[in-house]
Amino acid sequence: MTEAAAGTGGASPVRRRDRVPGRVLRAWAAVRPAEYADPGAASSAWAARALSAARRRGSRLPPTVWDSLLPALLVLNIATTRGPQDLPEAAGFTAALALPLVWRRRAPLTVFGTVAAVAFVQWLMDVQLPADIALLVALYTVAANAGRRATLVAGAVVEAGALLACLRWTADGAFLTPFVAASAMAVAAAVLGVNVRTTRAYLAAVEERAARLEQQQEQQARLAVAEERARITREMHDIVTHNLSVMVALTDAAVYAQHRSPEKATAAMLQISETGRQALTDMRRSLGLLRTDEPDAEPDVERHPLPGIAQLRALADQMCAAGLPTRLEVHGSHTHVPATAQLTVYRLVQEALTNALKHTPPGTRANVRVRCSAVDVTVDVTDSGPCPPSSGSTPSGATPSGHGIPGMRERAAAYGGTLRAGPLPDGGWGVRTRLDLGGGTEAPA
């Protein structure tokens, strides 16, 4: 109550503090208390952040900088531990042994040969130096970057050098222990280098495989998109072309009969309305299948199931009303036929009848025969219209660049079928296909 009363004043500090969101104040108090409670803690935190930033910057240094550290340390060690008498000789051999290591990643074999040659001259002149560790570093580099044969040769050279060094510089009776120690260090350097090379090759293979798998996934995604686009194109073509063709034919009939037979014109207009509603339903169903995130998509699909063989009778009646007398024969039970196969049969018959309606003169009759068995479905659609002057794969008046016949072929190919469309020997046009229900791949709905 007191805070509320104090908050009514425009200059109240409580009022100004309330302007800052509570989550900001809590976050500030959780992150910054140590730095502002003690100046020493603040300086320590600053030093820790500076050290972390320096480490991040150091990780981005080129490899040559890191390879220069060991030669610098070896030269510094000789300069601080040797006396004035033997300093020039020791410093010269140390520099000759250590400086080639700066380029060991670029030319591992050349660097190893140079270091081995300098070490042999050092042995001949009877000079002992800590810089002989450069031989182990060079051996590790050869094992990590060269092949197995080069590693074996370099290891043999190092072993020979260890044997010669132990024979000259060990006391009587103490040869075995130094030689075993030197051999163990050489083997450890070679094994470590081989492990690094193997790990590097494994990581490269894994990266290459991951890149190849990613490329394959991208290709599969592009193929899936192209296939889905072709499927949507076929579906929209069948829905729009068929319903618009029927509506145009019914509209012409209604205009022709509006004065002579008003009741027939009314019936045609009602049929046009019903066809338009059916087209809207089909398109809404197709778009609902595409937009799976819509909450009303699934109920709409359940209310209006995919058309199948059972709906062929309604399709034949619709074509009869549009001016194409159609006879339908269905042999065998279609209850075992998958829903997607029934949709394929329906679309094939729909496209064939639509082509007959669009490209044949009045008076043409159509026959539809569907035979269902346990392993296949045969579809045969014929019409009595005249054939075009030049026989091809499209009915009269159809353009070869249309989507009707190619779409029908794609639908049939999804079930292992081959579509045959062309003129009949006795006149007319026929479309025949067979859908394999056993070995074919079921196409998506």
Give the rounded distance of the alpha carbon of 379 from its chain centre: 39
What are the distances in angstroms from CA 432 to CA 135, 222, 225, 314, 407? 82, 32, 29, 21, 14
Mean pLDDT of 158-173: 83
Is residue 60 pLDDT above 60, yes or no? Answer: yes
Q: For 95-130, what is each residue's pLDDT tens digit?
A: 888 888 888 888 889 989 888 998 888 888 888 788
State mean pLDDT over 419-430: 87
Q: Cite the DSSP H helix spans in 291-328.
A: 297-303, 312-322
Q: Which residues contact 119 (CB under 8 A, 6 or more apart)?
A: 97, 132, 134, 135, 161
- For the record, the structure tokens of 268 come out as 């045609």
Predicted local confidence at residue 385, as pLDDT: 79
- Cα 399 from Cα 285, distance rounded (Å): 29
What's at 260, amino acid-wise? R
pLDDT tens digits, residue range 77-99?
666 666 566 677 777 878 888 88
Residue 379 has what pLDDT?
93
Residue 205 has pLDDT above 80, yes or no: yes
Q: Domains, the chain, ranges and CATH?
A: 2-58 (no CATH), 63-215 (no CATH), 232-436 (3.30.565.10)
Question: Over the stretch 122-160, which tens digit does the pLDDT of each residue have?
Answer: 888 888 788 888 888 889 989 998 888 999 999 999 998
pLDDT score, position 84: 62
pLDDT at 204 > cutoff 50: yes
Least confident of 181-185, 326-330, 344-348, 356-360: 356-360
pLDDT at 256 exceeding the cut of 80: no
pLDDT score for 403: 61
Q: What is the pLDDT of residues 15-55, one digit of tens each?
A: 444 444 444 334 334 434 443 344 444 444 444 445 455 54
Lowest mean pLDDT among 237-241, 340-344, 349-353: 237-241
What would the pLDDT profile of 315-330 be if each residue is shown by its tens digit?
888 888 888 899 999 9
Q: Say if residue 370's pLDDT is above 90.
A: yes
Tens of pLDDT, residues 379-419: 999 998 776 544 444 443 344 445 678 878 888 888 888 88
Per-residue pLDDT at 387: 63
pLDDT band (50, 70, 90) for residue 167? confident
Mean pLDDT of the chain, nearest integer:
75
Q: Please give the distance of CA 130 from its chain centroid, rounded to a whole number.
A: 55
- Residues 383/323, Cβ–Cβ less than 8 Å: no
Question: Which residues, including other chains, have CB under 8 Å from residue 245's CB and lie 6 or more apart?
Answer: 322, 354, 357, 358
What is the pLDDT, as a whole number, of residue 281? Answer: 72
Average pLDDT over residues 306-317: 87
Q: What length does the chain have?
A: 445
Tell the burial category of 400 from Cβ atoms under 10 Å away from its Cβ (0-12, 13-18, 19+): exposed
Predicted local distance difference test score (pLDDT) of residue 330? 92
